[in-house]
């Protein structure tokens, strides 16, 4: 028999509209309905929250680490679960743990781990190794290489839920992208010096994403649109953005929000590192020491110069940044953290909304947009 629970006491944002004096009916881990508070069945267990708002749970498509661990350093199901646990207090209900450029045996281990991890892990993001060393960032450029048919065979056999693969157009052929997409892999473009023409060839072949827009990619110039320009101009692409004020200047993000051709949208990612949820001020990543100053993470690049090393960012902070610094309406910022990444990952039939039949992934925010409580599949973290 289904145990009914009614969540009430706050305004409810279902992903599109607000509901007042209402309750979310939850059973068997799913949303059954949103009903007027006075019509809650007598046999339902009432869970009241104090003021604020109940909003769709956040979904993060790019999470390198959290809770003191990084997927690259220990590609196991235990690591993935620990990362998910570290991000849950910040409203992230579902995620793609992210493996940056790694040797084949580490990639194989991460793919195997994703098959046996927590339900909050909805797949895996492989950010490399098929990237351009000229735009390596914190990745190990020595491991970067072209995509092969054998690579594609292994990826198509992975069976990890949603598999997101970031590639540079220079390291693959359009026919290879088409083969991946036809097999269910979601292809994103990033870490690339590609021309806009090269990028559009991949987009025409089925690539639907751009990884951390503006970062580690050919820029928009007056006579060369680059990958950045192609991403903004192609209506079929969804672009992840790191909204922390460090990776991309606020003015640039505001321009991008206005410029992005629909129906594709910008969505929030954290690119989070082990420091999130751990309080660490330094850690080792890929053999390099990463230092945290405030929310900025840096390490020393191959040329001896400082380089950004992911982000000390959580999804709730990214939502607040959009509202406070980018002139984004609250409703749109919430969609950027939930509905839009779910749509990009083709999970918007079960995640990203509070609606009948959807997973009961719900976040209680107070009036300052701080997370007070999180439910994943109807189970509270309180």
Same domain, 80 and 23: no
The pLDDT of residue 1 is: 53
Q: Which structural domain range is residue 327 located in?
A: 58-344
Same domain, 281 and 368: no
| pLDDT tens digits along 257-301 | 999 999 999 999 999 999 999 988 999 888 889 999 999 999 987
Task: Give how many domains the chain has, as a whole number.
Answer: 2
Same domain, 260 and 367: no
| pLDDT tens digits along 111-150 | 999 998 889 999 999 999 999 999 998 899 999 999 999 9
Residue 208 and residue 186 in contact, taking contact as beta carbons nearer than 8 Å:
yes
DSSP one-letter code for 176: H
Residue 248 and residue 213 in contact, taking contact as beta carbons nearer than 8 Å:
yes
C-alpha to C-alpha distance for 190 and 199, rounded to whole angstroms = 10
Same domain, 161 and 73: yes
- Measured between its terminal Cα atoms, the distance across the chain in Å is 24
Same domain, 113 and 18: no
Same domain, 98 and 246: yes
Same domain, 78 and 34: no
pLDDT exceeds cutoff 60 at 92: yes
Same domain, 367 and 256: no
Q: What is the pTM of this model?
A: 0.96
Same domain, 115 and 240: yes
- For residue 358, the domain's CATH number is 2.30.40.10
Same domain, 49 and 62: no
Same domain, 172 and 24: no
pLDDT exceeds cutoff 80 at 302: no
Handedness of CA 152, 183, 196, 237 (dihedral sign): negative
Nearest to 377 by CA among 356, 353, 358, 349: 358
Same domain, 338 and 376: no
Q: Alpha helix (H) ranges present in 47-186?
A: 77-87, 104-114, 149-156, 174-182
- For residue 75, the domain's CATH number is 3.20.20.140
Handedness of CA 315, 344, 178, 258 (dihedral sign): negative
Phi, psi at 82, each rounded to 5° = -65, -40
Judged on CB neighbours under 10 Å (0-12, 13-18, 19+), 368 is: exposed
- Which residues are tagged catalytic? 271
């Amino acid at each position: 028999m289904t145990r009914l629970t009614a969540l009430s006491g706050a305004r409810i944002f279902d992903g599109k509209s607000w509901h007042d004096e209402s309750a979310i009916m939850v059973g068997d881990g799913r949303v059954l309905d949103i009903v007027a508070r006075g019509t809650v069945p007598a046999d339902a267990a009432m869970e009241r929250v104090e003021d604020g708002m109940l909003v769709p749970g956040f979904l993060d498509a790019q999470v390198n680490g959290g809770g003191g661990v990084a997927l690259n350093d220990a590609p196991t199901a235990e690591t993935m679960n620990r990362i998910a646990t570290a991000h849950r207090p910040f409203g992230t209900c579902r995620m793609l743990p992210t493996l940056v450029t790694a040797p084949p045996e580490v990639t194989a281990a991460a793919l195997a781990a994703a098959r046996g991890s927590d339900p909050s892990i909805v797949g895996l993001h492989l950010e490399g190794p098929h990237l351009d060393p000229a735009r390596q960032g914190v990745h190990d450029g020595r491991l970067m290489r072209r995509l092969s048919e054998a690579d594609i065979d292994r990826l198509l056999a992975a069976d990890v839920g949603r598999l997101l693969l970031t590639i540079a157009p220079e390291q693959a052929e359009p026919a290879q992208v088409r083969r991946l997409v036809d097999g269910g892999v979601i292809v994103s473009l990033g870490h690339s010096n590609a021309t806009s023409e090269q990028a559009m060839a991949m987009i025409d072949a089925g690539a639907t994403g751009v990884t951390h827009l503006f970062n580690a990619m050919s820029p928009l110039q007056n006579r060369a649109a680059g990958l950045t320009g192609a991403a903004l101009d192609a209506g079929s692409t969804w672009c992840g953005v790191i909204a922390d004020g460090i990776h991309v200047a606020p003015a640039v993000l505001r321009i991008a929000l206005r410029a992005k051709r629909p129906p594709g949208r910008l969505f929030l990612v954290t690119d989070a590192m082990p420091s999130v949820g751990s309080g660490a001020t330094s850690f080792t990543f890929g053999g390099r020491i990463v230092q945290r100053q405030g929310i900025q993470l840096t390490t020393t690049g191959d040329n001896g110069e400082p380089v950004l090393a992911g982000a000390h960012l959580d999804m709730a902070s990214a939502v607040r940044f959009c509202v406070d610094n980018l002139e984004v309406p609250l409703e749109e910022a919430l969609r950027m953290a939930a509905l839009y990444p779910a749509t990009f990952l083709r999970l918007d039939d079960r995640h990203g909304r509070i609606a009948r039949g959807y997973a009961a992934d719900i976040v209680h925010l107070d009036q300052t947009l701080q997370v007070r409580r999180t439910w994943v599949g109807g189970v509270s973290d309180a």
